[in-house]
Amino acid sequence: MLRSLVPSLVADAIWPEHRTIYKLHPTSYLDGLRGIASIIVFICHYTEDNHPSLIPSYGLNPDGSPSSWLQLPFIRIIFSGRPMVHIFFVISGFVLSHKPLKAIHSRDLTRCFTILSSSAFRRPIRLFGPCIVSTFLIMLMIQLGWLYAPLPTLTEQFWAWKNAVFHSITWPWAWDFDLRPGYDIHLWTIPIEFAHSMLLFLVILMLSRVRQLVRQCFTVCLAVYCLCCGKWAAFEFIAGMFLAECHLLQTPSSKLWESSDPTTISPPPPPVLDSLAWTTLHSLILLTALFIGGWPNFAAELTPGIRFFHFLTPEPFLSTMDPLAPQKFWFALSAAFTVYSVGCLPSLRRLLEGPMAQYCGRVSYAVYIVHGPTLAIFQGSVVGHPFMPSQDEPGGLGYVPARPASGIRAMVGGDSPVQRTVAWAMGLVVLAPVVVWAADVFWRLVDNPMIALGKRVEQACLEEGEGGRVRGFVLAG
């Protein structure tokens, strides 16, 4: 019991005999990339709550206050969470299509169809199960007075939670109508993830019997069509599928590179990728993606460099969609190129296959789910607020008594930009381990059991035949 409540990194050090050995595989670097992206999403939401003056581009603070060096291009990527969501979707498209495409390349359509069926069956449990548990816990914490304003009774709170789960979180077919699900607004991406997972499975099924060249050409055309229609998420999943096939064509044998030793996992790159020219090209692609990743939420047309990309934004992203649509177009493109170029730089791949990045990858979904409520519970008391003078006269309708400074801001102050930045950094140092700890526990007690539950439910629903086969099909692993 004690071990389950201790972060797994600490538990492995205390009880090494129970340590789980995780094998690396040819796409482990994507797990590391997803883990880093999830941490950046957490830092983004923490920054928006506790140091919003960092959000504008350098030199464009609306109140005219001095800018921080943290707002400079490239540096600001550490709290730019929006492009990370697009990286999530490209990685999902890559990972979900890798196994069925591998079966297609092995000319084993039976296995391909089994993988698609199994993945589609287990996908709702995998995605929605942890979200249902987390929002249920949030509902209970609201009633306990730990979060937000509770409804008068637990019954009313329960039915409000049920409506949020049924009509927002687990109903993916209207994902572009309501992107603000109740109880945890950060779960707006989950219906998008599910709907486009189903689209991806359908596309793979449709193209499973065609020639490789036809499949790749159709995939590219479909991705371009999605962008022309303004469907950035569909583009990202289809682009991930295209990159997965390119990866399979470049990898002679996946089994050859399976290892538990991070120093031996990366396959030797093709000779052309050893050249300085190709390394430089992929490095420039990543630098461009990092620059685009710093796209501000407003005043993009005034931001040096970004305004050039804003000017080049095509329709329908420029004027017929929401104000943030131009950044979604460029985030979609940069996410696809990021996933591609990261896989072509051996030194960066080795970094993402390292133990810390891999750990972040394992808990990434849990970090994404729990960081919102964890911040809501703790950041107010940890970061606190500066001294707040009284408002209005005592006895007046608008009278609010003065509030003394609290938390870290009581220690360092919050009047000057430097004080606010120091308080932001100190709060991040304190809260980041808390969020990772909560995510680690949620990963082991909820996320992993949900994955196992999906497999057990699938097994229970299948009609077994002879030899462990299901009417001619072998269950996908």
| Token pair recorded at residue 377 | 């519970």
Element (H, E) at 117: helix 109-143
Nearest alpha-carbon partner for 446 in 129, 89, 50: 129
Residue 189 maps to a domain: yes
Classified as helix, coil or strand, 259 is: strand
User: How far is Cα 59 from Cα 66, in angstroms, rounded to an integer?
Assistant: 7
Residues 171/193, Cβ–Cβ less than 8 Å: no
Residue 130 maps to a domain: yes
Residue 106, class by beta-carbon neighbours within 10 Å (0-12 exposed, 13-18 middle, 19+ buried)? Answer: exposed
Nearest alpha-carbon partner for 40 in 89, 71, 78: 78
Cis previous bond, 100, omega within 30:
no
Residues 408/399, Cβ–Cβ less than 8 Å: no
User: How far is Cα 140 from Cα 345, in angstroms, rounded to an integer?
Assistant: 46
| Token pair recorded at residue 407 | 């938390």
User: How far is Cα 169 from Cα 147, in angstroms, rounded to an integer?
Assistant: 20
Residue 408 maps to a domain: no
Cα-based distances in Å from 34 to 31, 83, 324, 359: 5, 12, 23, 11
User: How far is Cα 448 from Cα 255, in angstroms, rounded to an integer?
Assistant: 25
Task: Please calculate the CA angle 217-220-222 and round it to the nearest 5 degrees.
Answer: 105
Cα-based distances in Å from 96 to 9, 237, 467: 28, 9, 27
Cα-based distances in Å from 372 to 36, 133, 343, 369, 439: 17, 14, 31, 7, 11
Instruction: Render pLDDT for 382-432 as a digit per residue (tens, 0 to 9).
Output: 998 887 777 777 777 777 787 888 899 989 987 788 999 999 999 999 999
pLDDT along the chain (477 residues), means of 10: 73 75 90 98 96 92 87 96 97 97 95 96 97 97 92 94 92 76 93 97 97 96 96 97 95 51 51 73 96 93 94 90 90 98 94 95 97 95 84 74 85 88 96 96 96 95 59 47
Q: Which pLDDT score is estimated for 468?
A: 45
Q: Which pLDDT score is estimated for 189?
A: 95
Nearest alpha-carbon partner for 243 in 348, 352, 94: 94
Nearest alpha-carbon partner for 232 in 97, 357, 108, 330: 330
Instruction: Render pLDDT for 431-473 as a digit per residue (tens, 0 to 9).
Output: 999 999 999 999 999 999 999 999 999 999 987 653 344 444 4
Residue 80 maps to a domain: yes
**Number of other residues whose CB lies within 10 A of the CB of residue 407:** 20
Q: Rounded to 10 degrees, what is the CA torsion of 408, 412, 415, 416?
A: -120
Residue 330 maps to a domain: yes
Q: What is the tally of structural domains in the chain?
A: 1
Residue 64 maps to a domain: yes
Q: Can you tell me which residue has the tokens 């205390």?
A: 14
Domain that includes residue 292, residue range: 2-376+417-468
Residues 191/168, Cβ–Cβ less than 8 Å: yes
Residue 133 maps to a domain: yes
DSSP 8-state class, residue 303: S
Residue 462 maps to a domain: yes
